Chain A
Amino acid sequence: MHTWLEPKYFAWLEQGFVFTLALCVCTGLCATLSGFVLAIARTAQSAAIARAASLYVFVFRNSPLLVQLLFWYFGAAALLPSNWMTWLNTPHAATWGPVALRWPSFELFAGWIGLTCYTTAFVGEEFRAGMRGVSRAQEHAAAALGMGRYTTLRHVILPQALRIATPPLAGQYMNLVKNSSLTMAIGVAELSYMSRQVDTETFKTFQAFGIATAFYVLSIAVIEVALVVWQRTGSRALQRGRA
């Protein structure tokens, strides 16, 4: 049981890890942007937009991610017209000089969409909690100074809200890394999928799962450390009056 994995299989696990990281980074960026928009929508003046945003949050937070992924991969694929599906499935490449971007496979695309929609709901709620954490007195003071809603948001509320929201947001990014493991169910060749592959071929269950777990814990630890660094520099910067 305690023989090491052959390099070929270790390379598979590394590939899976790179995939996981790439997927998480792309999803994280998109989810942060959409979550931001969602939080603004939740606090919008128009009741219809606010209600729609609430419904979005309710639906995507209260259904399992696995079911959502299965829906996007199998259900949505069945609902889309067939020429869309053909386009989505043929490889496309956009080349700008030395950089070539290849269109991802459908399962990666569906996994990305599913993860983004799910994470957006949570990120949006963290942003909203951040905005609520800013005391109302700030809003009133800004109004008293003659600032409109947009100016207030941009210069007074949001900077403070973002600072309050950053630790829980880091928590959501950690959740994102963990949730990416579910995309293995729809065939995305990320770390958990690879660890299962290695296990079924080599039967070295302990090594395969051990290495994969180590990679996950490592990523989470990196985000945790980044958060601590940010907190230290953030508050120190505050103390020096520069924030």
Chain B
Amino acid sequence: MKHRIRGAVLPALLTALLAVASNAAHADRLDDIKKAGVLRVAAFDSNPPFGFVDPKDNQIVGLDVDYARAVAKSLGVKLEVQPTNPANRIAFLKSGKVDLVFANFTITDERKKEVDFSTPYFASGTQFIAKKGTLKSPDQLNSLRIGADKGTTNEQQVRAKYPNATIVAYDDTPFAFAALRTGNVQAITQDGPKLVALLARVPDKANYEIPAFTISNDYEGVGVPKGEARLLDVVNATLTHIEADGEAAQIYDKWFGPKSAAPLPRLFKIGDPQKSS
């Protein structure tokens, strides 16, 4: 009797596991989102103004979060934000812990093999912050210790273009900046707008500067799981729609407009043609 029960348990478990697995493989992500009534999005939690924690109510807010909210609204579901750093974005998306990535996610060909990207909604270039007067031209980079964020295109670009530079990769930009402050690295690299926003919020900003040169032309888009065509279409449609009715411009204005902490003119609109790097 005991053997019969024990004998039945294992096949039952296997069948259940297979059923779950096959269900997970066939259901469309868009349907899952609509059924669950919630859109899970990965956004930064320490990178103002793209994604950061609002000290008043400890919720994650920012440019990326507002765009995500627009998509959630067009789907008619709630928005749930998973805080992430650059290194974990892709893992969250590929392992199904989030449905979309709204985290200043640069579009590259290698990444396109792993995830799908929406139409770009932001443009930037890789720049640097250094202590005032230390970094004047890109050639100096080969002799410096440079702080970067793990899992970012900035890190890969600097490594490719300046192979003699020593790159120390940290989990997120504020760590890299702390290392810059204590002198562990002589410069840190990130997207220009992020650095501008970071510097504007730093208490001792007078000691640092962002040299005017950039070493790349990048476009950021929404990360979508590979093969989820319907979800990708909804995201693209939403982005085009909010550009057309001015909501995108309003969102940009809220975080980068003249009244914000780090004003930057809006040079790229959703749907603009892309320059090649």
Q: Is there a contact between chains A and B in the complex with CB atoms less than 8 Å apart?
A: yes
Q: Which residues does A use to contact B, with CB under 8 Å?
A: 74, 77-78, 82, 85-86, 89, 105-107, 185, 187, 189, 193, 196-197, 200-201, 203
Chain B, 84-106, CB within 8 A of any chain A CB: 87, 90
Interface secondary structure of A, over-half rule: helix
Distance in angstroms from B188 CB to nearest chain A CB is: 12
Report the interface size class on chain B: 20 to 34
10 A-B contacts, Cβ less than 8 Å apart?
Answer: A85-B183, A89-B182, A105-B145, A105-B168, A107-B168, A185-B171, A196-B87, A200-B87, A200-B90, A200-B151
A33: shortest Cβ distance to chain B, in Å? 27
By beta carbon, the residue of chain A nearest B186 is: A89
Q: Which B residues between 156 and 171 are near A, CB-CB below 8 angstroms?
A: 156, 168-171
CB-CB under 8 A from B168, the residues of chain A are 105, 107, 187, 189
Nearest CB in chain B: distance from A142 CB, A: 51
With contacts defined as CB atoms under 8 Å apart, how many contacts are there between chain A and chain B in the complex? 48
Query: Is the beta-carbon distance between A89 and B156 smaller than 8 angstroms?
Result: no
Chain B neighbourhood of A200, CB < 8 A: 87, 90, 150-151
| Among A74, A82, A196, contact of B150 (Cβ-Cβ < 8 Å) | A196
Residues from chain A with Cβ under 8 Å of B110 in the complex: 201, 203
Q: Does B24 lie at the interface of the complex (its beta carbon under 8 Å from any beta carbon of A)?
A: no
Q: Which residue of B lies closest to A185 (CB)?
A: B171
Extra contacts besides A77-B184, A107-B168, A201-B110 (4): CB < 8 Å: A74-B175, A89-B182, A106-B182, A187-B169
Out of B113, B179, B181, which one reaches A187, CB within 8 Å?
B179
Flag whether B18 is at the interface (Cβ < 8 A). no
Q: With A201-B156, A203-B114 in contact, do A187 and B182 touch (Cβ < 8 Å)?
A: no
CB atoms of B182 and A77 under 8 A apart: yes
- Asked if B113 and A106 make an inter-chain contact with CB atoms under 8 angstroms apart, the answer reads no
A82–B145 Cα distance when bound, in Å, is: 18
